[in-house]
Structure 1
Amino acid sequence: MSRYRRPRIGGASIFFTVALARRGDDLLLREIALLRAAMARTRAERGFRIDACVVLPDHLHCVWTLPEGDADYPTRWRLIKARFSRGVPIGERRASHCRRAERGIWQRRYWEHHIRDEADHAAHVRYCWMNPVKHGFVEAPEEWPFSSIHRDIATGRRWAR
């Protein structure tokens, strides 16, 4: 089993990219309600703030802030991925998925970046908002329905400076 060197900073803000195993699939959008339910249940049990989130067909980006003294984001992602995976039919799996009792839906790893300061935080929130534009799905971030930008506009929250 791999041992990752990850910062263990309680209360940190962290940017994540989490992707499906099959790039080009649209499973996350087809099953958006299931993904939202998995994230909501995990948030209710383990508490964390979602500062920004955007869901694209085959990957998602989030900025989370963990509770003070808590650095356990790997467990949160494991729960979200498992809860989502249990709700979709088992597809084609490689032998390595079977050996590990995996459904083969998600890439095993994800990318994380610990936010350094307010400017870094604002840049990563903007990245979430702009990602659907970058991928050519929409011309303006507000046009993408699967983004926290709508919540932030409605509440008047302004992360970006």
Structure 2
Amino acid sequence: MRYRRADVKGGTYFFTVNLAERHCRLLVENVDALRNAIRVVKQRHPFYIDAFVVLPDHLHAIWTLPEGDSDFAMRWLLTKAGFSRQMPMVDRRSASRKGKGERGIWQRRYWEHLIRDMGDYQRHVDYIHYNPVKHGYVKYAVEWPYSSIHRYISCGMLGNDWGGDIASHVEGGYGE
């Protein structure tokens, strides 16, 4: 059975991408390697990063693809591979992963969601920026260094105090 993904050319998508070992801190310990991998992919296959947060063992992102292009899967494949190539060969690999030439750093699949409208977009941007607070890494979203919230604050779209006890003020909070 083949997994079917959304296919909207020029679409805006929300993603959750996880490490295979969910107890690791690999992403924040190697955030420059992740940034480099993304930069290389963006140079070859442009897209816009609307929002992004890197946590120790997973990341969330919203990307908008160019008109006529819906191939986010190739971009994630290249990003994950580019990051993995920068890591030392110390990860455990199953026979299946070895047979496919995979490192075993990332979970094979990831979650994607096609953004439907501006309300959906705003909810997902807020979710991304609030995620470090939700996981207990910081008290306020601005305190997390690996987040696009800093761009939103510098542009005046959010205040420095955004994202403290926000879950109690938003209907439904930000549960996963």
TM-score (norm 2): 0.87
Partner of 1:149 in structure 2?
149
Greater RCO between the two (CA within 8 Å, min separation 6)? 1
Give the alignment's Cα RMSD to 1 decimal: 1.0
Which residue is equivalent to 1:127?
A: 127
CA shift, 1:156, in A, is 2.7
The CA deviation string for residues 36-84 of structure 1, in whole angstroms up to 9 with x for no partner, is 0001111111111100000000000001111111000000000000000
What is the DSSP-based 3-state SS (H/G/I as helix, E as strand, rest coil) of the residue aligned with 1:136?
A: coil
1:3 partner SS: coil
Q: In 1, distance between residues paired with 2:57 and 2:110?
A: 13
SS at match of 1:61: strand
- Percent identity (aligned): 54
Q: Give 1:8's aligned residue.
A: 7
1:112 aligned counterpart, secondary structure: strand
| Structure 2, unaligned runs of 5 or more | 159-176
Q: Kindly provide the CA deviation profile for residues 103-124 of structure 1, in whole angstroms up to 9, marking residues without a partner as x.
A: 0000000000000000000000
Distance in 2, Cα, partners of 1:50 & 1:156: 18
Counterpart-to-counterpart distance in 2, 1:130 and 1:138: 10
Q: Which amino acid aligns with 2:124?
A: H
Amino acid at match of 1:78: L
SS in 1 for 2:49: strand
1:21 Cα shift? 0.2
Query: SS at the partner of 2:14?
Result: strand
Q: Secondary structure at the match of 1:63?
A: strand
Q: Does 1:39 align with 2:38?
A: yes
**1:23 pairs with 2:22:** yes
Segments ≥4 residues shifted beyond 2 Å: 155-158
Deviations 1:96-154 (A, max 9, x none): 11111110000000000000000000000000000000000001100000000001211
Kindly provide the amino acid, as one letter, of the partner of residue 127 in structure 1.
Answer: Y
Q: Report the Cα distance in structure 1 between the residues aligned to 2:46 and 2:61, rounded to whole angstroms.
A: 15
Task: Tell me the matched-pair count.
Answer: 157
TM-score, scaled relative to structure 1: 0.95
